[in-house]
């Protein structure tokens, strides 16, 4: 069964699009949708085994992909890899700045190294990739960048380092949208809320115990699917968003709007609130009652 995208099959035909963090979660799903819509996808990430696996999946499904191993926090390596990708592809049309990561902790227990590591991953690294692609290629050819942030609009208790970095990326998105508009480069962001990805199964202790309760905190009564986030990304990359730049599209079920003064009477699975699941290889995380990702050899 192929990817069931809501967009026309040839939407990105002839285009090359880079997806950082493409080895798992939202990045993997987005790579599948882009490939299903005709794009050649360049997967970027730190874990070569995961990148190989996704590249193989894309080819098995009839898509086109290759990959580059990269830690986006290393400036010299980012410049080297971006230059190599541009030379290899000739033309790069878009970037999905998705790579990121964090760990749960109250602010008082985060040391400087931990704080800086998360900020470097979720803000500095994304800046480096976007800057290098712009200065080496997009400045002369135009294109579209989509940065992935998070629901941090009312603070991010328990993950303050990530919230600070994501808020910075929203502002960076706005600044880049202004500075790079004369070159025909659009820069937008997507802010997912809670999403049913394999990453949820990596949390332990109190954070893990919290996850099954998340749907009750969302007005729509559930968490998002990866493909609901991917659809937003693909829209912003597409020609339909040609007059949209500097914006952040929230995909969060209305969670930031929830109020203690207005009780939510949501019904998970209600007919008018069914999840869109276009990703044919998606699995439900174990922490949400699913089977989770099968174990990988690498």
Q: What digits encode the pLDDT tens for the residues 222-280?
A: 999 999 999 999 999 999 999 999 999 999 999 999 888 888 776 555 556 789 999 99
Is 10 inside a domain boundary?
A: no
pLDDT of residue 208: 86
Is 293 inside a domain boundary?
A: no
Confidence of residue 204 (pLDDT cuts 50, 70, 90): confident
How many structural domains compose the chain?
Answer: 1
pLDDT of residue 205: 83
Q: Measure CA of the first residue to CA of the last residue in the chain; give whole Å.
A: 26
* pTM, rounded to two decimals: 0.93
pLDDT of residue 56: 98
Nearest alpha-carbon partner for 139 in 178, 185, 95, 75:
185
In degrees rounded to 5, what are phi and psi of residue 73? -85, -10
Is 5 inside a domain boundary?
A: no
Residue 65 is encoded by which pair of tokens?
């992909």
Cβ-contact 126, 167 below 8 angstroms: no
Is 184 inside a domain boundary?
A: yes
Is 284 inside a domain boundary?
A: yes
Q: What would you report as the CA-atom Rg of the chain, rounded to the nearest whole angstrom?
A: 18
The mean pLDDT of 3-17, rounded to a whole number, is 97
Is 6 inside a domain boundary?
A: no
How far from chain centre, in Å, is Cα 247? Answer: 15
Q: What digits encode the pLDDT tens for the residues 105-119?
A: 999 999 999 999 999
Rounded to whole angstroms, the Cα distance separating 185 from 141 reads 8
How far from chain centre, in Å, is Cα 218? Answer: 20
Is 255 inside a domain boundary?
A: yes
pLDDT averaged over every residue in the chain: 93
Residue 147, helix vs strand vs coil: strand
Is 7 inside a domain boundary?
A: no
The mean pLDDT of 5-19, rounded to a whole number, is 97
pLDDT of residue 267: 59
Give the bridge partners for 65, in sequence order.
41
Confidence of residue 296 (pLDDT cuts 50, 70, 90): low
pLDDT of residue 98: 97
Domain containing residue 86: 16-288
User: Where residue 219 sits, what CATH number does that domain have?
Assistant: 3.40.50.720
pLDDT of residue 298: 43
Q: Is the pLDDT of residue 3 over 90?
A: yes
Nearest alpha-carbon partner for 278 in 49, 1, 2, 3:
3
């Amino acid at each position: 069964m192929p990817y069931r995208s809501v967009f026309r099959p040839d939407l990105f035909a002839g285009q090359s699009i880079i997806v950082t963090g493409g080895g798992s979660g939202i990045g993997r799903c987005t790579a599948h949708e882009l490939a299903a819509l005709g794009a050649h996808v360049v997967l970027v990430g730190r874990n070569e085994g995961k990148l190989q696996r996704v590249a193989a999946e894309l080819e098995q499904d009839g898509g086109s992909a290759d990959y580059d191993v990269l830690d986006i926090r290393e400036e010299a390596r980012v410049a080297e890899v971006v230059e190599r990708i541009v030379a290899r592809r000739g033309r790069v049309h878009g970037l999905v700045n998705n790579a990121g990561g964090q760990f749960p902790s109250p602010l008082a227990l985060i040391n400087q190294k931990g704080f800086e590591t998360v900020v470097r991953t979720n803000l500095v690294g994304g800046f480096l990739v976007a800057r290098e692609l712009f200065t080496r290629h997009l400045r002369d050819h135009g294109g579209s960048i989509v940065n992935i942030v998070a629901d941090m609009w009312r603070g991010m208790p328990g993950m303050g380092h990530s919230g600070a970095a994501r808020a910075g990326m929203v502002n960076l998105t706005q600044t880049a949208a202004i500075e790079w508009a004369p070159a025909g480069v659009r820069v937008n962001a997507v802010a997912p809320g809670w999403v049913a990805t394999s990453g949820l199964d990596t949390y332990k202790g109190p954070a893990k115990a919290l996850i099954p309760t998340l749907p009750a905190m969302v007005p729509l009564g559930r968490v998002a699917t990866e493909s609901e986030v991917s659809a937003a990304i693909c829209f912003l990359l597409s020609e339909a968003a040609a007059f949209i730049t500097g914006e952040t599209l929230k995909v969060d079920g209305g969670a930031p709007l929830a109020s203690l003064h207005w009780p939510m009477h949501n019904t998970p699975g209600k007919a008018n609130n069914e999840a869109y699941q276009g990703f044919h290889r998606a699995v439900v995380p174990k922490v949400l009652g699913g089977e989770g990702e099968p174990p990988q050899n690498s």
